[in-house]
Amino acid sequence: MKRRDFLRNTTLASGAFLIPSFLKPLEAMAMGDISGYKNLVVIQLSGGNDGLNTIVPFGNDIYYQKRKTIAIQQPDIIKLNDMQGLNPNLAALKEIYDQGWMSVINSVGYPNPDRSHFRSMDIWQTGSDANQFLTTGWIGRYLDSNCATCNNPYTAIEVDDTLSLALKGAKMKGIAVEDPGKLYQATRQPFFKQLVHGHDAANLNEDNLGYLYKTMIETYSSADYIQQTSKTYITTATYPQTPFANQLKSVAKFINSGLQTRVYYVSLSGFDTHTGQQNQQGRQLKIYADAVEAFVKDLKQANKLDDTLVMTFSEFGRRVEQNASNGTDHGTANNIMLFGGKLKKAGIYNDAPNLAQLDNGDLKYEIDFRSVYATLLDKWLNVNNSQVLNKNFAGLDFV
C-alpha cells in the first residue's frame, strides 16, 4: 500500500501514533508488580482564576472596599476560619475540608511576575524564572531525572487530546490520552485490524511506512492492555455529567485499576473573568468543586486517597480592585489548593493575603511556586528537586 493511501484511509493518523511510547512499557507489566506507590494529580485552572473570590478574605474590610459589586457577601460565604472562607459555589469541598483532606496555600507566585496568559503559564509549567525561557516542563524533567533509576518504566498521563509543555522532557515525555475506550474501539475497526494482522513487526523496514505499521501493531496490542486493565476497577462513585468530571473519573480509573503511572494532569478553562465575573467564575468553580468532591470520595472508597496528592493551580490571580465591567484584570499571586489523605497540615496553610501592602495594586507573593514543586518532588515523588528545578528550593510542610 502506498503511504498516501495508508494515511488517507486510517482515521488514527492524527493521534494514535503517539500512544505506544506510553502504553508499550505498561503492557509488559504484570499486575503482580503493582505496589502502593504515590500518585500526583495536577489540576490546571486556565485563564487566571481569581483567588480572592475563590478563598474569600471576608475578614478584611479592604476586600469589600476594593470590590463593591463583585465581592462575595458574608452571609453566602462558607467560613473556614475568622478570615477566609469558600466561595458558595465550592460548597461541595466543605466536607472534604472538614475531613482534613484539603489545604489552602495563600500568596503563591514568583518574582517579577508576568501578566500574559501564555508567558505566565509557560513559567508555571516549566518552573523557570520570569526572564528564563525553557523548552522542557517540570514534570518532563522529573521523568528525565527519575526514569534512569526506575525499576519499571512509567510516565505521566494528561487526560486530554494534546500534551502540555509541563509534561515534555528532553528525553522522556508524558502522553495525552483523552479516552482509552475510544482508542480501543478505534483500533478494532476492520481496516486497522487488517493492517495489523497482515504484517510482522520484526520484518518491517525502518522507513516511514514501516515505522507506521510497527506503531499500529504496538497500538493495537497496547490499547487492549489499557482497556482491560482499567476495566478491573468499576466506578461506583457518582460523577457530575461534565467534561472536567469525566477527566477526573478517567484518572480515578487509572489509579484504582493499578496503571503504574505516577503523575496525572487535567485542566479546566474559563477563568479569564474581565467582565461579569461573579456568574462566570461561579459556574466554573462549581464544575471544579463538584468534580473534585466525587474524585476524592472515589479514591477514598478505593483506599487510594492516602497515596494520592492533588494540586490545583492557575497561571496568575487577578488584581485586588475590580474593574469597571464587574470583573477583574490580570494580577499576580494566587492560592493553591491541595487535596489528599496524608496532608501534614490541612486547612489554611499560611496567613491570608495582605491586602494593605500591595505592589502597584497587586498581591505580593509570599511563597515561590517552585517551593511547592520542590515539596512534591522531594517528599512525594522522591526525587531531588534541584535535579528538576535546576536550583535547590526549600520545601514546605504540607506533606
pLDDT (tens, 9 = 90+) of the chain, 399 residues, equals: 454 554 444 444 334 444 444 444 444 433 333 335 799 999 999 999 999 999 999 999 999 999 999 999 999 999 999 999 999 999 999 999 999 999 999 999 999 999 999 999 999 999 999 999 999 999 999 999 876 554 433 478 899 988 899 999 988 888 778 877 776 776 677 766 666 665 554 554 554 555 555 545 655 655 666 666 667 777 888 999 999 999 999 999 989 988 778 999 999 999 999 999 999 999 999 999 999 999 999 999 999 999 999 999 999 999 999 999 999 999 999 999 999 999 999 999 999 999 999 999 999 999 999 999 999 999 999 999 999 999 999 999 999
| Residue 352 structural domain | 37-154+251-389
pLDDT for the residue numbered 11: 42
241 grid coordinates = 455529567
pLDDT of residue 217: 60
Q: Is residue 15 domain-resident? A: no
Answer whether residue 162 is part of any domain. no
In a domain, 87, yes or no: yes
| Domains in the chain, number | 1
What confidence score (pLDDT) does residue 228 get?
A: 66
Q: Looking at residue 331, what is its pLDDT?
A: 98
Tell me the residue type at 349.
Y
Query: CA nearest 158: which of 132, 128, 125?
Result: 125
Position 261 scores a pLDDT of 82
Q: Is residue 211 part of a domain?
A: no
Q: How far apart are CA 217 and CA 149, in angstroms?
A: 28
Residue 179 in domain: no
**Separation CA 384–CA 374 (nearest Å):** 8
User: In the prediction, which pLDDT does 36 show?
Assistant: 53
- Whole-prediction pTM value? 0.85
- How many whole angstroms separate alpha carbon 121 and alpha carbon 114? 9
Assigned domain for 169 exists: no
201 occurs within a structural domain: no
CA angle 316, 318, 320 (to 5 degrees): 140
Residue type, 303: N
Q: Is residue 183 part of a domain?
A: no
Which CATH number does the domain housing residue 62 bear? 3.40.720
pLDDT value at position 216? 59
The gap between the terminal CA atoms of the chain, to the nearest Å, is: 56
Taking the CA atoms of residue 255, residue 43, residue 148 and residue 381 in that order, the dihedral angle to the nearest 10 degrees is -80
Q: Are 106 and 353 in contact (CB under 8 A)?
A: yes
